[in-house]
Amino acid sequence: MENYEQTDVLICGCGPTGAMLSGYLGKMGIRNIVLEKEAFITTDPRGIALDDDGIRALQGLGLYEHVFSDIGSPIPQIRFVGGVHHDLHRKPFLSFDTASSEGNTGHIGAMRHNQPALERHLRSVIDSSKFSELRSNCTLTSIHEDDNWVYATYSDSTTNRKGIQAKFLIGADGKTGYTRKNYLEPKGIKLEWAEKTKYNETWVALNWKIHLPTPATHPQFPLWKLGFSPEMVYDLFFPDDFQFLCNARRPAVCGRFGLPNDRLWRFEFVIAPGEDGTEMAQRHKIKEVVVPYITHPGSRYGLTEDVEYPEDCIEVLRSRPFGFAARSCNKWALGRTILCGDAAHVFPPFGGQGIASGFRDAIGLAWRLAILCSSKRPLDHEATLAAWYKERKQQLDKSLAATVRNGEMVNTKNSLEGFLRDWTLWSVQFIPQWKHWLEQGPRAEGPIEYSHTPGLPFIPKLNGGVAFPQIYCVAVSDKDEIVRFTDDAIFDSSKTKQFQIVVLLPSLQLLHSTLAELGGMDQDNTSLLSYDEATIFAPRVSAPKFIDGQAPETVTNRLYRSASAEEFGQCKLCQGRPTPRGYDEELMWRSMSSKRYIILRPDRFVFAACNTTAELDMAAKELEKMFS
């Protein structure tokens, strides 16, 4: 068709992945249009868990203030409970301490979110950007491309057929979306099994909104006479921790999600062979499978009859079967058309990795698209995109392995195997070091570190390819000593370059000589990096103090000191989440093995970690060469 509208990037689908990608592209000044087939954000929460990487991704869009005030709440623990029973208070054989800050990000290990609220805030970033635009109620109808452009047509609420040409088209439209199913699969893109064994099951997912019974509304409820309040009753029947119920007869997962006052509860259970998923989602089957978990034996309270949470206090928001598998596409990009999120890979729901993996896709893809779209010289986009998904597949495999391990614990069908599993994991926790290691869950394996293959954008001999840690910091020139995240200092909105230099000083005694060395380097700014934008960090113990309200003359506005867990605990960033436990104030220095100069990619991975300015200059030139 004629008169195609033109943009840099066309994103098909405005779920969490598409919205995250649009948000980061907008921050990088890349024009993008998002087409979403639905008229409004769905009110049905699907994903409910997000790990610390996912929280860091939201922080990067400036949404951290909303994370625990409107989007969700911390998960205190993830408990793995064995045995054939219906007791949500049974002692677990394994627990993950997801409220600690022992990971690589300074955030808690996991949160439980309300997906509609999450999507609403992601879309607010699109709405506030002059480079991003969301068009809802739009259905993709065709895609074709040539060497320079992708052409797409779509219909909107007016039923008019419209066209957009873009330098790249992103399919973030899910596992059944048009981009893969109708356009790329006929060209050889396939969703393949991601594990050696085909991991494929059907479960029923319930979303309940819980209302509180009161002595006025339910005068016959027996626990009032024992002194229980409505909130105490709610906590008894719907415990705060997230639970993997490793029941050999009927594996299940349950837990609260969203804000505490939302009182939302998720329960998922497996469909056994020979059962019909649609039937198992019906009310009479839900009463058979789920209600025993919210029915307590009267003997627990010294009563003769069992105590069931009042049925009329449960509002059913969702009850339907869903299938899941561990699968990934053989290629995530072909020509100028790219897949990300559920369109490129699908996860079982045992690790909270579905949305988080889509976020990682989006952040790693955004900066590459920004380079490809803004370069004044033609670049090899196919090589650039292949490097993106080769990296992402490495990280995906690690996330998938952790998810499948969780699933295998939950889905153990053999009672003897379950007993041996429970006994083994329980017994090794008598060794304090092993217990602590197990409690860290997936974070115990440390940060992602990519293995280098030709074309991947980092320098392996200079410790590139590792996820850069985040701690808390304070600007030394700030007499109010406001605590920030280090990412927010490094990627401050006033900076113009995508890649950033981080300087890690072991002591402030080296500040003058370091500034002199940086000032003596070739200051011709490249398109990707500027020495003038370097962010300098020093340990808190070596930072100068204000004297009579004045900062020492040695201080620059680019200098920050590390902040302690106590300082973070007293600042507004800690509202709604636990005070940090297990936080390592020296993590940046320790993880970089005392390297002085770090070139950091926009996705928070190290491009190169250098000892000297000579190495830094060499790495900067290699970066420019790599993308010219």
- Report residue 439's pLDDT band, with 50, 70 and 90 as the boundaries: confident
Residue 373: predicted pLDDT: 96
Residue 316: predicted pLDDT: 95
Q: Which has more confidence, 378 or 289? A: 289
Sole residue written with tokens 């219909």: 155
Dihedral of the CA atoms 44, 347, 256, 294 (nearest 10)? 100
- Pairing state between β 264-270 and 200-210: antiparallel
pLDDT over threshold 60, residue 261: yes
pLDDT, tens digit (0-9, with 9 covering 90-100), for 465-498: 999 999 999 998 888 899 999 999 999 999 999 9
pLDDT over threshold 90, residue 524: no
What's the mean pLDDT when you consider all of the chain? 90
pLDDT over threshold 60, residue 309: yes
Least confident of 146-155, 165-174, 239-248, 407-416: 407-416
Residue 158: predicted pLDDT: 78
Least confident of 241-245, 254-258, 316-320, 348-352: 348-352
pLDDT over threshold 70, residue 77: yes
Give percent of the chain with pLDDT exceeding 70.
Answer: 90
CATH 3.50.50.60 domain range(s) in the chain: 1-44+114-190+330-397
**Segment holding 209, helix H or strand E:** strand 200-210
CATH 3.30.9 domain range(s) in the chain: 199-323
- Report residue 296's pLDDT band, with 50, 70 and 90 as the boundaries: very high
pLDDT, tens digit (0-9, with 9 covering 90-100), for 541-570: 877 665 445 555 556 788 999 999 999 999
pLDDT over threshold 70, residue 154: yes
- Report residue 54's pLDDT band, with 50, 70 and 90 as the boundaries: very high
Architecture, CATH, for domain 447-626:
3-Layer(aba) Sandwich (3.40)
Q: How far apart are CA 538 and CA 133, in angstroms?
A: 40
CATH 3.40.30 domain range(s) in the chain: 447-626
pLDDT, tens digit (0-9, with 9 covering 90-100), for 571-625: 999 999 999 999 999 999 999 998 999 999 999 999 999 999 999 999 999 999 9
Beta strands in 42-89 (DSSP E): 49-51, 72-74, 78-82
pLDDT over threshold 80, residue 523: no
**pLDDT average, residue stretch 450-470:** 96
Q: How far apart are CA 278 and CA 286, in angstroms?
A: 11
Single out the residue of 504, 510, 511, 528 nearest to residue 592, CA to CA. Answer: 504
Residue 550: predicted pLDDT: 53
Q: At what angle do helices 52-60 and 354-374 cross, to 10 degrees?
A: 40
> What CATH number does domain 199-323 carry, 3.30.450, 3.30.9, 3.40.50, 3.10.20?
3.30.9
Do residues 588 and 604 lie in contact, with contact meaning Cβ atoms separated by under 8 Å? no
Q: Helix H segments across 193-261?
A: 230-237
Residue 15: predicted pLDDT: 96
pLDDT over threshold 90, residue 348: no
> What CATH number does domain 1-44+114-190+330-397 carry, 3.30.565.10, 3.30.200.20, 1.10.3720.10, 3.50.50.60?
3.50.50.60
Residue 328: predicted pLDDT: 86
Using alpha carbons, list the distances in angstroms from residue 272 to 193, 197, 248, 294. Answer: 22, 19, 11, 22
